[in-house]
A and B are shown apart, each in its own frame.
Chain A
C-alpha cells in the first residue's frame, strides 16, 4: 500500500471566525502565522523521511481552513526539497483556474521533481466558487473541458489552439512539457458525475470524505461498474481513501488530541464556510439534482455532529496508540481494498509536535506492519 501525506496548512491561532465566509483576514497574525506556515511546509517535507510515498497539496481560499490558495507554489517546494516521493497536487481546482496555466504549473513540478508529479484534478468545495466569482452551475462543464485541454497541453507535439465552450486559445505549446508521458491522475468521486469522470479518465478515485464504511463500499461498487463500461478494471492502486490520524503513546492521549482537533476544525476552521456552502448548494446547480444536494447537506450535518467515539466505532479515523492504528488501518483496507491511504495528521489545531510524533509512529511502528496491505487484493479493489 502507498501512503500519502496531506496537510491543509491551516491557521492554528484563531479563536473564532464568526459566522460568515470569507473570513476577515485581520484575524491572521503574521507574527504567528508566518513561522507556523513555514513549520507546515517543513512537516510536508518531513513526510518523505517518514516513509510516505506521496505528499499532497490542495487549494482553498479566503479562510483559516487552508493557507494554500495556489497548491503549485507549495508543490514546487516539495518537488525541489525531496528526492523520492510523488508530488500529489490534489490539487488545483480546475473550474476556477486557467487550464493552460494548470498544465504549465503541473508540468513545471513534474520537470522539477524528475517525473514525480501525481496530477490531481479537483472540482473544489462549493464556496470556493464565490472566491473567484465563477458560476458554480458551470463547474461540471468547466471540469470536463479543462481535463481534456490539460491532457492536450501535455501530449500535443505541435502548437495547437482550442475552441471550446468555456475556453478558447489560439496558440498553445507549453514549455516545459512533463517528463512523464501521462502522469497518474487523481480525482474525487464525491458526486455521481464526478465518479463518471474518474472512470472515463482511468483516474485514481479519491474518497476524500468518509462518513461511513458503507458509503465508501457503495462508492467503490459504483466505480467498478462504471469502469467496466469504459472497458477497464481498477486495481488497488486506483483507490485512495482519506483518513484523519492521531497516534500517541496511548489510546487515551490520542483521543484527547483528536477531540480537541475536531473541535477547532468544526467551530473555527469550518466556521463561516457552512453558510457559503449552503448558498451555493441551494441557489445554483453546483450539484446535478436535488437528491445530490440533500445527500451533501446530510453528510455535512452528520460530519459536524458525529462524536469521536462514533468515528472510531465506524472505523473512519485512525486514532490511538501504534498497535491500535495498525489494527484500524488493516481493518479499513480489508473492507475497502484500497491501495493508497491518504493520511492527515494535522487535524484542526493539533499541536505541531504531536503531528510530528504521529508521523514518526507511522514510520517506525505502523508502516512496517501495513505496507504489504493491498497486495492480496491486487486483482481489483474490494475484489
Chain B
C-alpha cells in the first residue's frame, strides 16, 4: 500500500494566542461621588449595530488585555474599570472594604452605562461582583463569576504567595498571558491594595449568608486546573445562589480569559445573549425565534 504520510510537524492543537483582530482599546475617566475611576473600553473597530455593554471587574493583576476579553469585544462593548488604588490610581474616601466596592460600582454603572448591565468578575473581581449584586442589585442584569476568590474553606491550606508557585497554580499556559508592562513593585502594590479591601478574610461568611438574596441569573465558571480556587467553593456558590449555573472550563487554570480565551468568550457570549435558554442547544432556540 502507498500512502501520503501525514505532516508530523503540524501542531495538533493550535491556540489563537495572538491579539484579536478588529477590536481596539481606549482609556476613559469617570467621576464618581467618591472619586475618579479610570476605565478601559474594548469594542470592534467596525461594529455591526448597537453594542450591549458588558462590565468586567479585574483580579489581582488589574486590567489585562487578555485574549478572552478581546474575543468578547467582538460582540460587546467591554468596559473594564480599574479598582481605585490599583495601578497607582487614588483610593476613594469612604470606600474601604468589599461592601463599599459593591456600592461604588453600582454608582459607576449608573453614571457610565445608565442601565442594568451584565457583570463579569474574575477572582478578586468575582468576589467584588457578588458584593455589587448584593449592594446594588438594581444595576445588575446577569452575573458571571470567573473563578471568584474569597471563599476558601478553612480546612484547605493557605495559598502560597511565592511567585513561582502562584504562577503555576494560576496559569496552565503562561505563554498565553497578555504582555504586562507593570514593574514588579507596582504589581506588589496592587496586591496590597487588594488585600486592604478584605483584610484577613479568606472565607467571606457575610457574602455567603446573603447569597440567597441574589436574584440575578448567575454563571459560575471554573477552570478544571485552577490551583487557587477550589471546586468545592464553586459548588457551594452554585448550591446557594438560586438561579445559577456552574460550568467547568476544561484545561484552564485560574484565568479562563487567558488560558482558554476563545472557550471562555464562547461560553460568556452565549450566556449573555441567550440568558437561561443557554442550557438548550442553540440550534433549537435560533429556529424558534
Contacts and interface: CB of A to CB of B under 8 A. Distances in A.
Interface of A: 137, 141, 145, 148-149, 152, 156-165, 167, 170-171, 275, 278-279, 282-285, 289-290
A163 B249 contact: yes
Nearest to B250: A164
B16 to A, nearest CB: 13
B246 A159 contact: yes
Contacts of A284: 6
B13 interface: yes
Interface in B250-270: 250-251, 260, 263-264, 266-267
A16 to B, nearest CB: 21
A143 B113 CA distance: 45
Given A170-B278, A170-B279, A161 B247 contact: yes
A162 B246 contact: no
A162 B248 CA distance: 5
Given A137-B12, A171-B279, A283 B248 contact: no
Contacts of A160: 238, 246-248
B8 interface: yes
Contact of A170 (B3, B245, B250): B245
User: 9 tightest CB-CB pairs across the interface, nearest first?
Assistant: A164-B250, A161-B247, A170-B279, A158-B238, A282-B3, A171-B279, A163-B267, A163-B249, A160-B246
Contact of A162 (B6, B8, B250, B266): B250
A148 B224 contact: yes
A287 to B, nearest CB: 10
A359 B245 CA distance: 52
Contacts of B159: none
A152 B238 CA distance: 15
22 contacts: A141-B12, A145-B250, A158-B238, A158-B246, A160-B246, A160-B247, A161-B246, A161-B248, A162-B250, A163-B221, A163-B247, A163-B263, A164-B250, A164-B263, A165-B13, A165-B263, A170-B245, A170-B247, A170-B278, A282-B3, A284-B6, A289-B8
Interface string B188-215: 0000000000000000000000000000
A284 to B, nearest CB: 6
A278 B2 CA distance: 10
Contacts of A159: 238, 245-246
B94 to A, nearest CB: 37
A161 B250 contact: no
B239 interface: yes
Nearest to A162: B248
B235 interface: yes
B49 interface: no
B100 to A, nearest CB: 31
Given A163-B267, A164-B251, A170-B278, A158 B239 contact: yes
Nearest to A161: B247
B234 to A, nearest CB: 9
B164 interface: no
Interface in B159-210: none
B1 interface: yes
Contacts of A158: 235, 238-239, 246
Contacts of B235: 156-158
B5 interface: yes
B247 A162 contact: yes
Contacts of A162: 247-248, 250
Contacts of B224: 148
B12, B13, B247, B260 — most chain A CB neighbours (10 Å): B247
Contacts of A148: 224, 250
Nearest to A157: B235
Given A158-B238, A283-B6, A284-B6, A163 B266 contact: yes
B248 A152 contact: yes
Nearest to A290: B8
Contacts of B251: 145, 164-165
Contacts of A170: 245, 247, 278-280
Given A158-B238, A162-B250, A171 B3 contact: no
B1 A278 contact: yes
Contacts of A289: 8
Nearest to A145: B250
A161 B270 CA distance: 13
A159 B245 CA distance: 8
A283 B8 CA distance: 11
Nearest to A152: B248
A191 to B, nearest CB: 14
A181 to B, nearest CB: 15
Nearest to B246: A160
A152 B235 CA distance: 12
Contacts of A165: 13, 250-251, 263
B79 to A, nearest CB: 24
B266 A171 contact: no
Contacts of A137: 6, 12
Contacts of B280: 170
A60 B172 CA distance: 36
Contacts of B279: 161, 170-171
A333 B238 CA distance: 50
A137, A141, A161, A282 — most chain B CB neighbours (10 Å): A161
Contacts of A145: 250-251
B3 A283 contact: yes
Nearest to B277: A170
B4, B239, B248, B260 — most chain A CB neighbours (10 Å): B248
Contacts of B4: 283
A170 to B, nearest CB: 4
Contacts of B250: 145, 148-149, 162-165, 167
A164, A165, A289 — most chain B CB neighbours (10 Å): A164
A285 to B, nearest CB: 6
A135 B248 CA distance: 25
A137 B264 CA distance: 24
A149, A157, A279 — most chain B CB neighbours (10 Å): A157
